[in-house]
Amino acid sequence: MEADVPEIPDEDQEMFEHFHFVVDPGQDLLRIDKFLMYKISGGTRTRIQHAIDSGNVLVNKKLTKASYKVRPHDEISVVFPYPKREIELIAENIPINIVYEDNDILIINKEPGMVVHPGVGNFTGTLMNALMYHIDSLPESKNETDKDPFSRLRPGLVHRIDKNTSGLLVIAKNDISLNRLSKAFHQKDVHRRYVALVWGNLQEDEGTVVANIGRDLRDRKKMAAFPDASQGRHAVTHYKVLERFRYATLIECRLETGRTHQIRVHMAYIGHPLFNDEVYGGNKILKGQALGRYKQFVENCFELMPRQALHAQSLGFIHPVSGEKMLFESELPADIQAVIEKWRSYLQPND
């Protein structure tokens, strides 16, 4: 029986280097460890051997051994964890929008453009750096394992949202809160509602997208939907139409699961990528005329909102200590509001 392929936790994906190769047709038989030493800059024999032993080197989507000899057309995927010494969590005096705070939890309304925790290319300036300055101490994750070597960079963090997504996050301020909130998220006992502007006019007023989400097989920096559940992890997104703009639609999304890029991937999967989402194709003019006034209108919208149109607007849960039912709401940020108003004006009669 084939061994299960280990999966890096969603929240830690950017803490790793991802490589993908398709072996040239004329490649001679060569041990994979030697092949990777030639192909990867900084790929020492020790580092490559450790990756193979840890199950982080796949050949044709299957685990391999260092003695395997690569063959023409083999598809090879490699994941290297960044050494811990390369990333340190440093307290920084960065303003943050605190919606609510008590002795146990903190609710943050994150601005677009702020990364939640340190990662490759974002070693400073993150929400975690800001929290370390504003709060004396935060609880460390109890899940630090070989597969999760960067949990120390996420003290108190229960969930996260993407860099260019705005909205609400809850932070645990002590061990009890961290453990109970983590359990609530795992058991889907948390209410999360997002507002998004997507391309196209959805046929139904509401619906559900069910498709596994995992790493894109050809671009490891992206996620992809797998409808036959052959890859990835189970993911469910419920959506409801709020307002229609002929070529775009304002929707709300409720998450039943919490996978990396879930809303962005699911909406792109059904043919309605988020407006101005450059990773999943929403930064192109997908509906309407690509010339003249309409083209200029869309480009102006992109300039007003240089990010995907996604906001975590509502967050609800049971307080981990008091047992009180908590519900927080956040207004749409100015850039999304401005784009919505432009769409409304564009579709006025006689326009």
Which residues are annotated as catalytic?
Answer: 162
Whether residue 228 contacts residue 214, with contact meaning beta carbons closer than 8 Å, is answered with: no
Residues ≥6 apart with Cβ < 8 Å to 292? none
Q: What are the phi and psi torsion angles at 349 (to 5°)?
A: -55, 145
Q: b/e for 295-318, b at 16 or more Cβ within 10 A?
A: eebbeebbebbebbbbbbbbbbbe
**Dihedral angle over CA of 212, 11, 112, 17, nearest 10:** -100
Helical H runs in the chain? 32-39, 45-53, 127-134, 175-186, 262-269, 292-304, 334-346
Whether residue 68 contacts residue 31, with contact meaning beta carbons closer than 8 Å, is answered with: yes
User: In the numeric block, which tokens belong to residue 225?
Assistant: 């939907």
Element (H, E) at 26: none
Residue labelled with tokens 């010339």: 291
Angle at 80 (CA atoms; ends 14, 155), nearest 5 degrees: 45
- Helix axis angle, 334-346 relative to 292-304, nearest 10°? 160
CA 92 – CA 109 distance, rounded (Å):
18
**Cα distances (angstroms) measured from residue 218 to each of 13, 20, 23:** 15, 7, 13
Return the bridge partners of 100, or none: 107
Q: Please tell me the total number of residues recorded for the chain in this structure.
A: 351
**Pick from 267, 294, 278: which is nearest to 199 by CA?**
267
